[in-house]
């Protein structure tokens, strides 16, 4: 008997909740909105006239939470899934805390359904609402509001190589670092600053020395060699550092660090910063660079991190370079299984597996195929993170299933695929 009463009670509670959900209106639109305040017009429907306007307001929050409203947060729902405890508390007693003001259009009108309908225009405290959702762990804090430690928890910080600014293609990084003492100090200071912030760095000079010992340069052109150094460095990002000086023993000295971060694989700019230090009674460039780095590095790294964090949802950009081995049987124009060419076979796979089909081909000739930009999904079909190595493995397996042998290596965000 007690069990039956309990079941009937639960059924009654569920029915009331379902009825309330059905009475939420989707007849609403955003008049205007910014990060802190949204003005939204909405209809409300209720069995009793006195409940119409409260249902209109609740309909606004229901839409904001679960469906999204065009014009507010790019139309994305703030929550996406219902948390029953929070929702019950919110709609029963808390929702009016986030209504700054509202105006009614006219008296509620009884409909043919015998329900009453009325309209309100409400000012919703959107900024306060989002903070409440974040505090209750129903919404992730926006990247621009995260501390560096919070950013670090969301996404792994990229590996960085710091290089000096080049004014022409005839200069090499090694030559600049050898001949310009002050710029070498600036590069070293920035690199040490990243290390203190917990970032893994790659030393340009050390990497270059290793490449020279291995005789891996493709040409004697300084710019070509430096580009090859970056691509083979294993660094996700390279940061270009330039230095401006205003040195005066009488009126004080100051310096400016000009930094640009670029994605190694694609060359896309990720962040840039420029800031003059205050004037100090010193001509020591080393100290002045340390002051400049202290002022800007934390924010600069956060700018870079935000770009990478966005890729947790949007996916990453990689480069794919396909070439033929010296003893390869096929060329890029060879027919695979009597149908498409090898080049088209690879292009079709990339088109189907790139995020939204977004990719760009830099060049295609008889012995090579270069994709200088492929947007890969953030996750695979199983919901697991997708990275450059996994994407390469999937392509190699696809080619193997088609009877095409290949070898590959991955440096940073670049795949080097060699057809055997």
Which run of H or E residues covers position 189?
A: helix 181-196
- CA 40/CA 30 separation, integer angstroms: 4
How much is the pLDDT for 132?
92
pLDDT score recorded for residue 356 = 80
Quote the tokens at residue 260. 């640009």
Predicted confidence at residue 396, as pLDDT, reads: 93
CB 256 within 8 A of CB 292: yes
- Which string of DSSP letters, residue by residue, matches 199-225? --EE-HHHHHHHHHHTT--S-S-HHHH
HSE-CB at 198 with a 13 A cutoff on CA atoms is 10
In this prediction, residue 153 carries a pLDDT of 65
pLDDT score at 150: 65
Of the candidates 34, 81, 23, 84, the residue with the CA atom closest to the CA atom of residue 57? 23
pTM value is 0.58
Residues 6+ apart with CB under 8 A from 170: 222, 223
Going by DSSP bridges, is the β-strand pair 269-276/254-263 parallel, antiparallel, or unpaired?
A: antiparallel
pLDDT at residue 43 in the model: 93
Report the distance separating Cα 24 and Cα 217, nearest Å: 67
Identify the H or E element spanning 313: helix 285-314
Annotated domain spans of the chain: 28-140, 160-313, 316-419
Report how far residue 305's alpha carbon sits from residue 321's, in angstroms, rounded to the nearest whole number.
Answer: 26
Nearest residue to 242 (alpha-carbon basis) of 316, 161, 184: 184
* Tens digit of each residue's pLDDT (9 = 90 or more) over 153-173: 666 678 899 999 988 766 788
Confidence (pLDDT) at 9: 45
pLDDT the model gives residue 12: 39
| Gap between the Cα atoms of 266 and 370, Å rounded | 12
- CATH 2.40.160 holds for 160-313: no
Q: What is the pLDDT of residue 229?
A: 78
Q: How far is CA 6 from CA 3, 11, 14, 135, in A?
A: 5, 9, 12, 34
Whole-angstrom Cα distance, residue 12 to residue 333?
Answer: 70
Q: What stretches in the chain show pLDDT beneath 70?
A: 1-22, 80-81, 142-156, 169-170, 205-223, 309-314
- Residue 14: the pLDDT is 35
């Amino acid at each position: 008997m007690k069990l039956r009463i309990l079941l009937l009670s639960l059924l009654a509670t569920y029915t009331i909740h379902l009825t309330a959900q059905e009475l939420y209106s989707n007849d609403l639109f955003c008049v205007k909105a910014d990060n802190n305040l949204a003005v939204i017009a909405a209809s409300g429907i209720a069995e009793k006239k006195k409940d119409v306007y409260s249902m209109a307001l609740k309909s606004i929050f229901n839409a904001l939470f679960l469906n999204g409203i065009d014009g507010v947060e790019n139309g994305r729902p703030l929550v996406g899934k219902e948390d029953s405890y929070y929702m019950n508390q919110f709609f029963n007693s808390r929702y009016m805390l986030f209504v700054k003001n509202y105006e009614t259009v006219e008296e509620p009108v009884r409909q043919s359904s015998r329900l009453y309908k009325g309209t309100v225009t409400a000012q919703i405290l959107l900024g306060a609402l989002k903070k409440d959702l974040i505090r209750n762990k129903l919404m992730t804090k926006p990247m621009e509001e995260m501390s560096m430690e919070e950013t670090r928890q969301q996404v792994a910080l990229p590996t960085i190589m710091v290089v000096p600014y080049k004014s022409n293609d005839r200069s090499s990084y090694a030559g600049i670092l050898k001949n310009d003492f002050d710029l070498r100090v600036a590069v070293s200071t920035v690199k040490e600053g990243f290390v203190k912030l917990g970032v893994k760095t790659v030393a340009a000079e050390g990497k270059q020395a290793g490449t020279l010992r291995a005789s891996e340069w493709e040409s004697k052109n300084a710019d070509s060699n430096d580009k090859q150094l970056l691509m083979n460095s294993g660094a996700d990002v390279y940061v270009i550092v330039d230095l401006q000086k205003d040195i005066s023993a009488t009126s004080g000295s100051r310096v400016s660090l000009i930094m640009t971060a670029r994605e190694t694989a694609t060359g896309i700019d990720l962040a840039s910063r420029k800031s003059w230090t205050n004037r100090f009674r010193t001509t020591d460039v080393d100290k002045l660079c340390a002051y400049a780095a202290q002022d800007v590095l934390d924010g600069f790294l956060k700018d870079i991190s935000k770009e990478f964090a966005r890729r947790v949802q949007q996916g990453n950009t990689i480069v794919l370079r396909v070439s033929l081995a010296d003893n390869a049987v096929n060329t890029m124009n060879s027919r695979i299984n009597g149908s498409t060419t090898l080049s088209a076979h690879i292009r079709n796979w990339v088109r189907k597996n790139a995020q939204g089909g977004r990719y760009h081909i830099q060049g295609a000739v008889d012995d090579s195929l270069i994709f200088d930009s492929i947007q890969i999904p953030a996750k695979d079909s199983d919901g697991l993170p997708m990275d450059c190595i996994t994407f390469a493995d999937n392509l190699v397996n696809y080619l193997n299933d088609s009877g095409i042998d290949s070898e590959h290596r991955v440096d940073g965000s670049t795949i080097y695929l060699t057809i055997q």
